[in-house]
């Protein structure tokens, strides 16, 4: 992977992801209930990786691009290995081991996703950068109550000037009530 470009790494991830989706679709046709749960977890892992990619495109920095895409690619490879291991050994213990491994992958991807969002929020310390982050969040999620709560929390933590804070909160509260 050292000589691969980021685009090539992304393409390889997409190929592996599609292979996983095809395999889960084929396995689902001949599956029992316990097997369906395992396949649901595999699909959840792929969806979590796709969400990470969207988060990265919106909030990530270019310097970490290679590391993030390498993580997604290695996750896809590990998923394929777990599916193959599970298909070869269909005992309950092997299924539980594979399921645990998939759960760990999901949690790892979610932690990376959360870290990306947290890093961007922590970097926004000056008022203009906080406003840019607010605009970005509104463009992504729309008029969302969670975005409003985030804004109120940030205003409480970051703005030292009380008059300015109250004035801005009042204007945005009025605008949000009109919009939502």
**Predicted confidence (pLDDT) at residue 71 exceeds the cutoff of 80:** yes
Cβ atoms of residues 17 and 75 within 8 Å: no
The whole-number average pLDDT for the span 118-124 is 74
Question: Pick the residue with more confidence: 156 or 44?
Answer: 44
Q: What percent of the chain has pLDDT over 70?
A: 82
Unique residue bearing structure tokens 């909160």: 169
DSSP 98-135: HHHHHHHHHHHHHHHHHHHHHHHHHH--SHHHHHHHHH
Report, as an integer, the average pLDDT of 170-174.
75
Which pTM was predicted? 0.63
At residue 37, does pLDDT exceed 70? yes
Would you say residue 157 has pLDDT above 60? yes
Give the DSSP letter of residue 30: T
Please tell me whether residue 89 adopts helix, strand or coil conformation: coil
* pLDDT band (50, 70, 90) for residue 162: very low
Angle between helices 127-141 and 92-123 (to 10 degrees): 140
* Coil/strand/helix, residue 1: coil
**138 close to 147: Cβ distance less than 8 angstroms:** yes
Provide the pLDDT for residue 176.
75
> Which has the minimum average pLDDT: 29-33, 71-75, 102-106?
29-33
Name the residue ranges covered by the structural domains of the chain: 6-123, 127-179
Place of tokens 């840019």: 132
Task: Kindly report, residue by residue over 79-90, the tens digit of the pLDDT.
Answer: 888 888 877 776
Question: CA dist 123 to 48, 66, 117, 135, Å?
Answer: 24, 21, 10, 15
Average pLDDT (123-139) is 76
Mean pLDDT of the chain: 78
Q: How far is CA 159 from the centre of its chain?
A: 29
Residue 153 structure tokens: 């929390």
Q: What percent of the chain has pLDDT over 90?
A: 0
């Amino acid at each position: 992977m050292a000589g691969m470009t980021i685009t090539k790494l992304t393409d390889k991830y997409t190929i592996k992801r599609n292979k996983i989706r095809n395999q889960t679709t084929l396995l689902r046709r001949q599956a029992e209930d316990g097997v369906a749960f395992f396949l649901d977890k595999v699909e959840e892992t792929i969806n979590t990786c796709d969400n990470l990619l969207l988060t990265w495109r919106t909030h990530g920095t270019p310097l970490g691009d290679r590391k993030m895409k390498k993580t997604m690619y290695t996750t896809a490879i590990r998923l394929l290995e777990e599916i193959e291991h599970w298909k070869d050994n269909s005992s309950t213990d092997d299924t539980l081991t594979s399921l645990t491994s998939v759960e760990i992958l999901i949690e790892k991807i979610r932690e990376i996703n959360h870290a990306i969002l947290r890093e961007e929020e922590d970097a926004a310390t000056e008022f203009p950068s906080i406003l840019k982050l607010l605009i970005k969040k509104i463009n992504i999620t729309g008029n969302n109550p969670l975005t409003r709560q985030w804004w109120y929390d940030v205003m409480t933590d970051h703005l030292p000037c009380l008059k300015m804070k109250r004035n801005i909160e009042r204007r945005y509260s009025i605008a949000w009530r009109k919009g939502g």
